[in-house]
Amino acid sequence: MRGEREILFKAEGITKQFSGVRALNDVSIEIYKNEILGLSGENGAGKSTLMKVIAGVYSKDSGRMFLKDREYNPANYREGTSQGISMVFQEQNLVPNLFGYENIFLSHEKFFLKKSGVLNTKAMIDKTRMYFEQFEIDADPAKRVSSYSFHQRQLVEIVRAFMISELYGITHPFILLDEPTAALAEKERELLFSKVTKYSENATFCLISHRLSEMMTYCNRIMVLRDGELVGEVDPKTSEEHDLHTMMVGREVSRDIYGTSKQEDGFRDEKAMEIKGLTQEGVYEDINIDLNKGMILGLGGLVGCGKRDLGKAIYGITEYQSGNILVNGNSVNKGQISLMVKKRVGYIPAERKGFGIIEYLPVSWNISLPSIFSLSNNVLMKVDRKKESSLIDKYIKRFRIKASPEDMCFSLSGGNQQKVVLAKWIAKNLDIIILDNPTRGVDVGAKEEIYSLLREIVKEGVSILMITDDLLELIGLSNQIVIMKEGRISEIRDAGKNSKPTEKELVQYMV
Amino acid sequence: MKESVNKMTALMKYLPLLLLVVVSLFFGILYPRFFSIQNVLNLIRQMSFLMIVSMGMTFIILMGSIDASVGANATFCGVIGALLAPYLGGGAIIIGLLAGAGVGAVNGIIVTKVKVPSFLVTLALMGALDGAALLLMHSSPVNISNQTFLDFSNGSLLFSFPNVDLIPIVIIVICYYIITKTAFGRSLYAIGGNEQATFYSGIKVRHIQVIAFMISGVMSGLAGCLQASMFEAACPYMGNSFLMNSIAAVVIGGTQLSGGVGGPLRTVFGVVLIAIIGSGMNFMGLEPATRQIVTGAIMILAVSVNIDRSKMAYVK
- Sequence ranges of the domains in chain A: 2-249, 261-344+432-442+462-511, 355-429
Confidence at residue A352, expressed as pLDDT on a 0 to 100 scale:
87
- Hey, do A2-249 and A261-344+432-442+462-511 end up sharing a CATH topology, with the first three levels equal? yes
From the list B271, B313, B298, the residue with the least C-alpha distance to B47 is: B271
Greater confidence (B111 vs A497) lies with B111
| pLDDT at position A488 | 93
- CB pair distance less than 8 Å for B182 and A380: yes
User: Helix axis angle, A241-249 relative to A444-459, nearest 10°?
Assistant: 100
Per-residue confidence at B69, pLDDT binned at 50, 70, 90?
Answer: very high
Rg, chain A, Cα only: 25
Burial class (CB in 10 A: 0-12, 13-18, 19+), A122: exposed
Please report residues of A whose CB lies closer than 8 A to that of B198: 358, 369
Tell me the pLDDT band of B7, cut-offs 50, 70 and 90: low
Is any Cβ of chain A less than 8 angstroms from the Cβ of B13?
Answer: no
| Residue closest to B119 by CA, chosen among B256, B215, B213 | B213
**A478 pLDDT exceeds 70?**
yes
Q: Average pLDDT in the A424-445 region?
A: 88
Phi, psi at A476, each rounded to 5°: -65, -35
Q: Chain A partners of B64 at a C-beta cutoff of 8 Å?
A: none
Residues in chain A closer than 8 A to B196 (CB atoms)? 354-355
How far apart are the CA of A282 and the nearest CA of chain B, in angstroms?
A: 25
Percent of chain A with pLDDT over 70: 98
pLDDT band at A180 (very low <50, low <70, confident <90, very high): confident
**pLDDT exceeds cutoff 60 at A110:** yes
One-letter amino acid at A254 equals S
Task: Please say if the pLDDT value at position A2 is more than 50.
Answer: no
**CA-CA-CA-CA dihedral for A359, A363, A364, A367, to nearest 10:** 80
Sign of the C-alpha dihedral computed for residues A218, A219, A220 and A224 taken in this order: negative
| B6 vs A: CB within 8 A | no
User: Distance, in angstroms, between A5 CA and closest chain B CA?
Assistant: 42
Indicate whether B159 pLDDT > 60. Answer: yes
Question: What is the strand order of the sheet A432-436 is part of?
Answer: A345-348, A432-436, A463-467, A296-300, A480-485, A488-494
Going by the DSSP 8-state scheme, the letter that residue A500 receives in this structure is P
* Residue B315 lies inside a defined structural domain of this protein: no
Helix (H) or strand (E) holding A67: strand A62-67
Strand partners for A466: A298, A435
Q: Would you say how long chain A is, in residues?
A: 511
B193·A360 Cβ contact <8 A: yes
A59 residue type, one letter: S
pLDDT at A457 over 70: yes
User: Is B203 in Cβ contact with A370 (below 8 Å)?
Assistant: yes
Q: Does residue B301 fall inside a structural domain? A: yes
pLDDT of residue A174: 93
Distance, in Å, from the CA atom of A237 to the CA atom of A233, rounded to the nearest integer, reads 12
Round to whole Å and give the CA distance between B94 and B99: 9
Contact A239, A70 (CB under 8 A): no
pLDDT for position A44: 73
- Give the up-direction half-sphere exposure of residue A144: CA atoms within 13 A in the CB hemisphere: 6
* pLDDT-based confidence at residue B160 (cuts at 50, 70, 90): confident
pLDDT of residue B254 exceeding 90: no
pLDDT band for position B213 (50/70/90)? very high
Contact between B94 and B240 (Cβ < 8 Å): no
* CB-based contact, B246 to chain A, within 8 Å: no
Q: Is residue B315 scored above 60 in pLDDT?
A: no
Determine the distance in angstroms separating the CA of A381 from the nearest CA of chain B, rounded to an integer.
Answer: 5
CATH number, span A2-249: 3.40.50.300
Candidates A359, A369, A382; nearest CB to B203 = A369
- Which comes out higher in pLDDT, residue A182 or A354? A354
Asked whether residue B4 is domain-assigned, the answer is: no
The answer to whether residue B9 is domain-embedded is: no
Closest-CA distance, A478 to chain B, in angstroms, reads: 25
Q: Which domain holds residue B248?
A: 16-307
Q: Is pLDDT larger for residue B102 or for residue B257?
A: B102
Q: Give Cβ neighbours of residue A463 (< 8 Å, ≥ 6 apart).
A: A272, A273, A291, A292, A293, A294, A295, A296, A297, A431, A432, A433
* The pLDDT of residue B316: 39
DSSP A502: P
pLDDT at B173 over 80: yes
Show the beta-strand stretches assigned E in A162-213. 174-178, 204-208
Of A19-23, A268-272, A488-492, B13-17, where does the model show the most confidence?
A: A488-492
The torsion of the CA quartet B76, B82, B87, B89, rounded to 10 degrees, works out to 110
User: Which DSSP category does A46 fall into?
Assistant: S
Within 274-313 of B, beta carbons closer than 8 Å to A belong to 308, 311
Which of B1, B186, B196 is facing A354, going by the closest CB pair?
B196
- Give the pLDDT confidence score for residue B12 in this predicted structure: 63
Mean pLDDT of chain A: 88
Chain mean pLDDT for chain B: 88
Residue B311: predicted pLDDT: 45
Give residue A483's pLDDT.
94
In the predicted model, is pLDDT for residue A274 greater than 70?
yes
Is B11 inside a domain boundary? Answer: no
- φ and ψ at B214, to 5 degrees? -65, -40
Confidence of residue A4 (pLDDT cuts 50, 70, 90): low
Instruction: Name which of B246, B236, B239 is nearest B222 in CA terms.
Output: B239
Q: What is the CATH number of domain A261-344+432-442+462-511?
A: 3.40.50.300
Q: Which pLDDT does position A410 carry in this prediction?
A: 86
Q: Using CA atoms, how far apart are residues B135 and B142, in angstroms rounded to an integer?
A: 12
Q: What is the CATH number of the domain that holds B280?
A: 1.10.3470
Which chain B positions have a beta carbon within 8 Å of A368's beta carbon?
Answer: 186
B194 CB contacts (<8 Å, ≥6 apart)?
Answer: A354, A355, A357, A358, A359, B260
The domain total for chain B is 1
User: Chain A interface, mutation test: which of B174, B194, B209, most A Cβ atoms within 10 Å?
Assistant: B194
Residue A69, min C-alpha distance to chain B (Å) = 37
State the count of interchain CB pairs (< 8 A) between A and B.
81
pLDDT category of residue B8 using cuts at 50, 70 and 90: low
Look at A357 and B199 and tell me if their CB atoms are within 8 Å. Answer: no
| pLDDT tens for each residue of A111-160 | 898 888 899 999 999 999 998 988 888 889 999 988 888 778 888 888 88
3-state secondary structure of A390: helix
- With beta carbons less than 8 A apart as the criterion, state whether A317 and A202 touch: no
Does residue A492 have a pLDDT over 80? yes
Q: Find chain B residues with C-beta within 8 A of A22's C-beta.
A: none
Give the residue, A51 or A150, on which the prediction is more confident: A51
Mean pLDDT of B127-153: 92
Residues of A with CB under 8 A from a CB of B: 18-21, 317, 337-338, 340-342, 346-347, 349, 354-361, 365, 368-370, 372-373, 375-376, 380-383, 424
Choose between A113 and B69: higher pLDDT: B69
